[in-house]
Chain A
Amino acid sequence: MSFLELTGVQKHFGPTVAVEDFNLAAERGEFVSFLGPSGCGKTTTLRMIAGFEVPTAGAIVLDGTDITHRPPNRRNVGMVFQSYALFPNMTVGDNVGFGLKVRKRPGDQIRKRVGELLELVHLGDKMARYPYQLSGGQQQRVALARALAFEPQVLLLDEPLSALDAKIRVSLRHEIRAIQRQLGITTVYVTHDQEEALSLSDRVVVMSEGRIEQIGSPFDVYNFPATGFVASFVGTLNVLPAVVVDPGGGGLSVAGQAFRINRPISARTGSTISLALRPEMVSLGEAGGENVLRGTVADVSFLGSIVRIRIQVAEGVVVTVDEFNEPTLVLPQLEASASISFPTEGPLVLESVPVIEPDDLIAEA
């Protein structure tokens, strides 16, 4: 039996379905992220675990106890909000100690625990400050300490870094993960930022329109996306419309340029399928033994450690290539002709993208 289990959880707001049939089993100490665009139901699911929303159907079981209909103040679940939600009338120390005071712990025990947690988030010297005297990053660290102080069974984080600026976002991200590992607390993290989800989690739950698209390790979700949505939402993706030439041998062509993939294709000869290709799988120039496509340079953008080059292979078909930046790199000129190459295992066939069969074309004609 898993530590945190959501079984068949649904949430309807009137006629709108916010979450449908959500199933997840998280192990003790696991870090799980809900990743998806806004309105995909990730926050609603988190709020159901916290108790702020009651599921329309399904059950939430925490450590063997059904908590589906238990009010939030009796769940022993810590929560960190996007807007920090520190109590403005209380000092940092009082904020962190609030959960312990509610639980009627003795004063000296509270002081000790508050001190420990503020040390943990590196704010040991800020105990007597008020929230308005702290920066955003510091406030969110206080909120984290507050959510952990009463030793909750689960820690929930609702886009905790979205209100912070880029640099603090990254450093606090590492800090959250380090603290989570140190305490071994089961954590559910909601974000729309794929980089956050991939870098933090043991497992990622990719959601879209209230449904789970895929549950898997960051490695699996990125490299083996189960659906077209996952492939396009996680990471940058080239989508190539390709005509099947030889299904058994993986032969395809884009605008008359032939290439192949290392596995058979389950579509008929002459049909068009969608292929996904990660920019980092593609390199500029013609590499021996790899697929090669020719085109012209449409755009070059300098992103710091990476240079992103867009090559137009055919009318309406543009392939994005990421090259590592190095001082010796010669940036291609716009409009110049260029070749790209990618290994035969590079492209993924997207199952859920509509596939045009040759019969349909004949029927239309």
Chain B
Amino acid sequence: MTIETRAPGVLDSLASSGRRRRLPRINPFAWLIFILGVLYFFLPLVGTFIHSTRTRPDIFLAYRQVFADSKFFVGLGYSFAVGVITIVVSLLIIVPTAYWVRLKVPRLRPVVEFVTLMPFVIPPVVLVFGLIRVYSSKPLVLTATNIGSDFVLVCAYVILSFPYMYRAVDTGLAAIDVRTLTEAAQSLGAGWARILWRVIFPNLRTALLSGAFLTMAIVIGEYTIANFLARTQAFGPYLSLLGRSQPYTPAAVSLISFGLTWLAMGAIAFLGRGARTRVQVAGAR
């Protein structure tokens, strides 16, 4: 009896070990491409890091200088704040729009998709010149004051975030049965505001997070528009200015901002993880 039950198990393990042995035998050409890809992405980082440590005798001098410079934190803080406001405004525009298009006017979807792609078609420099031209003359003079310029900056960034935000939200909406959930909520007596806030938003968590972090990454790294509207206060122009006057610090700043971006990516993965585990649990049942 025991032999009988063990025999298939032994065979199984043999089969699986065979499979395991076969796995790494991938085409050497594929490996070559993989290694080239890794080098392509990592060599610049390594180069930047080596460059940033050329300061003698203190190899971390550049990093120390960055952290000692209040402008670094001001710039980063400013861009971060602008990013957060951009994300909130963008979400408030995109989520109801994408939801409504999916629910009520699906035939307008290609149109909306095209409109959200405009930032890829219009270069940022054209966008910012257009904005400055319109909002520096009557009736709406906004660029005359700092707060007015900040306002125009946020508006420009909201437009830049559209392609990323719309696609993230639309994918999220595709994953849930928007129509039936809406109808269920309606039949229970809920109005539109409650449906959006209590039913749609919470079920888009992962999609909203990825849209939000992509937007944040764009805002932090943006140079052209910030240079015209935010003076040197924003992170992008600060980094550029630094590059013109100092040899090693910009490399350090780049790496620090790169690290911050990776932290943001990690946060997406971490916060989105809950949702994925749930799906797996549901699948296992």
Do chains A and B interact in one complex?
yes
Residue of B186, B199, B205 near A87 (CB, 8 A) is B199
Q: A73-B189, A98-B185 are in contact. Are A132 and B180 (CB under 8 A)?
A: no
In the complex, are the beta carbons of B185 and A78 less than 8 A apart?
no
When the two chains form their complex, are residues B189 and A89 in contact, meaning their CB atoms are under 8 A apart?
Answer: no
Contact A132 B282 (CB under 8 A): yes
Q: How far is the CA of A164 from the CA of B193 in the complex (A)?
A: 33
B285 CB contacts on chain A under 8 angstroms: 132-133, 135
Within 8 A of A (CB), among B181-202: 181, 183-191, 194, 198-199, 202
A73 with B191: CB separation less than 8 A: yes
Q: B residues within 8 A CB of A135?
A: 285
Does residue A321 face the partner (Cβ distance < 8 Å to B)?
A: no
Q: A88-B203, A132-B281 are in contact. Are A98 and B181 (CB under 8 A)?
A: no
Main secondary structure of the interface of B (DSSP, over half): helix
- In contact, A83 and B180 (Cβ under 8 angstroms): yes
B59 at the interface (CB under 8 A from A): no
Min C-beta distance of B119 to chain A, whole Å: 31
How many contacting A-B pairs (Cβ < 8 A)?
A: 77
Interface residue? B58 (CB, 8 A)? no
Q: Is there contact, CB below 8 Å, between B180 and A72?
A: no
Closest to B186 in A: A72
Taking CB atoms, residues of chain B closer than 8 Å to A3 are none
Q: Indicate if A99 sits at the interface (CB-CB under 8 A).
A: yes
- Tell me whether A117 is interfacial, beta carbon within 8 Å: no
Contact flags A128-144 to B (C-beta < 8 A → 1, else 0):
00101101000000010
| A87 and B187 contacting across the interface, CB-CB below 8 Å | no
Residues A77 and B281 in contact, CB atoms below 8 Å apart = no
Q: Which residues of A contact B (CB under 8 A)?
A: 50-52, 71-79, 81, 83, 85-89, 98-99, 102-103, 130, 132-133, 135, 143, 146-147, 150, 156
Cβ-closest 3 pairs across A and B: A132-B282, A99-B188, A89-B202
Show 11 A/B contacts (Cβ-Cβ < 8 Å), sorted by A.
A73-B185, A85-B181, A87-B199, A88-B176, A89-B203, A98-B188, A99-B189, A102-B189, A132-B285, A146-B188, A156-B187
| Additional pairs, 10, CB under 8 Å, beyond known A50-B183, A102-B189, A133-B282 | A52-B183, A72-B187, A73-B185, A73-B187, A75-B187, A83-B177, A85-B177, A99-B188, A132-B278, A135-B285
